[in-house]
Amino acid sequence: MLKSSSLKENKLIGFVGIGEMGRPLARNVLKAGFRVVAYDIRREAVGAIEKEGAMNASSVAELAKSADVIITMLPRSSAVKEVVLRMLTVLGEGKTVIEMSTIDPRTTMTLAKKVRSTGATLLDCPVGGTPDMAENRDAEILVSGDKSSIDDCKEILDSMAKNVVIVGGEPGKGKAMKLAVNSLIAMNRLALTESVCFALMQGIDAHIALEVIGGSNANSVVFQRYGKAVIDEDGERIAKKHSWSLKDLGLAVDAGMRASAGFPITNLSLEITKEASNEFSGAENFQSIVKHYKKMIANANVA
């Protein structure tokens, strides 16, 4: 059996997708001492990670052919499907695909079967957290798939995050858990905004409203992160995009519909988020939600 240092010297890790999350994850793998080869349709993204020690692949097929473990971190189900299908002709026994994107569980299950037909393995490993959290290894990786493959990739997964949770089950379970978490965060943000705006509508001082909520059982991580943003919708706290809300709520609703489950709160949250986004020129961020609610209270008649 290879020792840890020998494992790092002999394994080549491929990264497809060097974006907001892919780059810090790839950087952490490099810092851990693994050899990395990268591919992204944006050549400047590959150039940036190349300066940090990664090698440059000219195509997905070239990367998959040379790498022992291929990590994919892409924005949409369609992109993941396209990339994995391109890999199939060069995958085989001994290769592992670690799929880290947030996509729908059904697509993940289907792709895992196609990868398995080549003799390779697909692990479902979505990441929870922000790019800053990924940079500091504070993000969370939710893992499902073949146990022996998980054990073989443990050192790679640990290099990307301090908290690696084995969700268990077949590929797709990790994605389902990620959607459950992200849907709850999105719903909490809407509930937070609605509650604070209700207090503002009644003429309560904004800072007092935040103080009371923060000292009550209604306090939460979501409140700590977004509470002040509700009273200052132009502040830095919410300047960054949060495009995952529409995407992940949509994926959760679709999964629920396929299972004939209604999930009314998730459905309503998706409708409100869409309405706010459309109202403010397609903005997919918390800012649009806050402005949407403040527009409603500005037109309200309070007796």
CA–CA gap between residue 261 and residue 257 (Å, rounded): 6
Bridge-partner residues for 35, per DSSP?
Answer: 12
The phi and psi torsions of 14 (rounded to 5 degrees) equal: -100, 140
Domain at 4-170, CATH homologous superfamily: NAD(P)-binding Rossmann-like Domain (3.40.50.720)
For residue 239, name the pLDDT band (cuts at 50, 70, 90): very low
pLDDT at residue 3, rounded to an integer: 40
Query: Looking at the predicted structure, is the pLDDT value of residue 5 above 50?
Result: no
Residues 40-71 pLDDT 10s: 999 999 999 999 999 999 999 999 999 999 99
Looking at residue 166, what DSSP letter applies? E
pLDDT at residue 4, rounded to an integer: 43
Decide which of 3.40.190.10, 1.10.10.60, 1.20.120.1760, 1.10.1040.10 is the CATH code for 177-298.
Answer: 1.10.1040.10
C-alpha R_g of the chain: 21
SS3 assignment, position 31: helix
Residues 154-211 pLDDT 10s: 999 999 999 999 999 999 999 999 999 999 999 999 999 999 999 999 999 999 999 9
- Is residue 104 within 8 Å of 77, Cβ to Cβ? yes
Non-local (6+) Cβ contacts of 11 within 8 A are 34, 35, 68, 69, 156
The domain segmentation of the chain, as residue ranges, is 4-170, 177-298
Share of the chain above pLDDT 90, in %: 76
Q: Which helix (H) or strand (E) holds 254?
A: helix 244-258
> What are 146-149's contacts with CB under 8 Å, separation 24+?
146/121, 149/96, 149/121, 149/123
pLDDT at residue 286, rounded to an integer: 83
CA–CA gap between residue 211 and residue 264 (Å, rounded): 31
- Is residue 69 within 8 Å of 121, Cβ to Cβ? no
pLDDT at residue 120, rounded to an integer: 98
Query: Looking at the predicted structure, is the pLDDT value of residue 93 above 60?
Result: yes
What is the average per-residue pLDDT within 257-276?
88
pLDDT at residue 287, rounded to an integer: 84
What is the average per-residue pLDDT within 229-245?
64
